[in-house]
């Protein structure tokens, strides 16, 4: 079995994100970038399947600027076998990413595609669903458990009010939720091995995909500052403020 895993390069989860002064986006110059945490979970899940003898090959794919190669190398160091970068400096929106991934899926013919449920930069939560629709494949989104069967995969999903398990026929698409697994740390010797693993670079044009944005960003701005708390003198005053100022009771 062959698994394709998508990995996105995003602003590190620990960085305090700032809006650019001109309102065109968020500041990314001199900001630490790393792999989208949900994609780390996706890579981990694929590697565990391989370690359990259920998958033969894992291909990690990233789309975007040349520096996305670093993100792919991390996936390779975690255990993926080879990488593909679709390189472009253009802004990539979820539909464009889904179309590019579809083209790569058609080239690679994987049995399973695993993506994060969303990327922590734009929080769109669209790519997996769009890709499944474009491919006409079954999808198991928000996975907290994934069990491979014979030509099938059972995906336990986190939904409002509990868990739901769906049985999908392969080929299928899975998007990961936070509780699926805890990604491993990368071992130093594996970084050396990762450098020797193949990494193919393609252009959107090679795949015949038009990546022109469909959505226009009007403005990006900081959320309003939270006001400082106050100390109240008594329970009565607290109740009064909750009722008449905060209007929450």
Partner 1 sequence: MPTLDESATPLLDGLRAFIDPAQVRTDPDSRLNYGRDWTRLYAPNPLAVVLPGNIEQIQGLVRYANEHRLALVPSGGRTGLSGAAVACRGEIVVSMERMNRILEFDPTDRGVTCQAGVVTEALQHFARERGLYYPVDFASRGSSQIGGNIATNAGGIKVVRYGLTRDWVTGLKVVTGRGDLLDLNRGLIKNASGYDLRHLFIGSEGTLGIIVEATLKLTRPPREPSVMVLGVPDLNGVMSLYHVFRNKLELSAFEFFSELALRHVLKKGLQRPFDAETPYYVLVEFENPDESHTDQALALFEHCAEQGWLADGVISQSETQAKELWRLREDISESIAEHQPYKNDIAVRISRVPALLAEIDELLAREYPDFEVLWYGHIGDGNLHVNILKPTDLDSATFAQKCGAVSEHLFAMLQRHGGSISAEHGVGLTKKPYLHYTRDETEIGYLRAIKQVFDPNGIMNPGKIFD
Note the residues at the interface with partner 1 (CB under 8 A): 12-15, 32, 34-35, 37, 74, 77, 182, 185-189, 191-192
Q: How far is the CB of 151 from partner 1 (least distance, A)?
A: 32
Query: For 78, which DSSP code?
Result: H
**Burial per residue of 223-247, b for 16 or more beta-carbon CB atoms within 10 angstroms, e otherwise:** eeeeeeeeeeeeeeeeeeeeeeeee
Report d(CA 249, CA 240) in Å as an integer: 9
Kind of pairing between the strands at 33-35 and 9-11:
antiparallel
Peptide bond into 171 cis (omega under 30): yes
Contacts of 164 (CB under 8 A, 6+ apart): 156, 157
Q: How far is the CB of 77 from partner 1 (least distance, A)?
A: 8
Cα-trace Rg, the chain: 21
Q: How far is the CB of 74 from partner 1 (least distance, A)?
A: 5
Report d(CA 132, CA 153) in Å as an integer: 15
Q: How far is the CB of 237 from partner 1 (least distance, A)?
A: 17
Q: How far is the CB of 160 from partner 1 (least distance, A)?
A: 26
- 166 vs 201 by CB, closer to partner 1: 201
- 2 vs 48 by CB, closer to partner 1: 48
Q: How far is the CB of 191 from partner 1 (least distance, A)?
A: 6
Closest residue by Cα to residue 62 from 95, 78, 39: 39
Write out the two tokens for 143.
Answer: 């996975």
- 68 vs 96 by CB, closer to partner 1: 68
Write out the two tokens for 168.
Answer: 């999908």
- 185 vs 229 by CB, closer to partner 1: 185
- 21 vs 188 by CB, closer to partner 1: 188
- 72 vs 84 by CB, closer to partner 1: 72
């Amino acid at each position: 079995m062959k698994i394709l895993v998508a990995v996105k390069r995003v602003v590190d989860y620990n960085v305090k994100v700032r809006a650019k002064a001109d309102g065109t986006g968020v500041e990314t110059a001199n900001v630490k970038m790393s792999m989208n945490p949900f994609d780390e979970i996706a890579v981990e899940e694929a590697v565990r399947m391989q370690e359990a003898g259920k998958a033969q090959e894992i291909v990690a794919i990233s789309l975007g600027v040349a520096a996305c190669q670093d993100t792919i190398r991390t996936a390779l160091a975690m255990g993926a076998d080879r990488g593909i970068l679709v390189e472009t400096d253009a802004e990539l929106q979820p539909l464009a990413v889904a179309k590019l991934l579809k083209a790569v899926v058609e080239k690679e013919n994987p049995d399973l595609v695993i993506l994060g449920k969303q990327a922590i930069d734009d929080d769109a939560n669209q790519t997996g669903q769009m890709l499944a629709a474009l491919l006409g494949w079954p999808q198991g989104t928000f996975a907290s458990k994934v069990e491979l069967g014979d030509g099938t995969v059972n995906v336990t999903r986190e939904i409002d009010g509990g868990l739901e398990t769906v049985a999908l026929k392969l080929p299928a698409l899975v998007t990961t939720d936070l509780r699926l697994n805890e990604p491993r740390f990368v071992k130093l010797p594996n970084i050396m091995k990762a450098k020797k693993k193949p990494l193919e670079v393609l252009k959107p044009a090679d795949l015949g995909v038009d990546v022109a944005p469909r959505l226009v960003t009007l403005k990006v701005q900081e959320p309003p500052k939270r006001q400082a708390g106050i100390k109240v003198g008594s329970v009565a005053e607290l109740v009064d403020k909750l009722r008449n100022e905060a209007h929450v009771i």
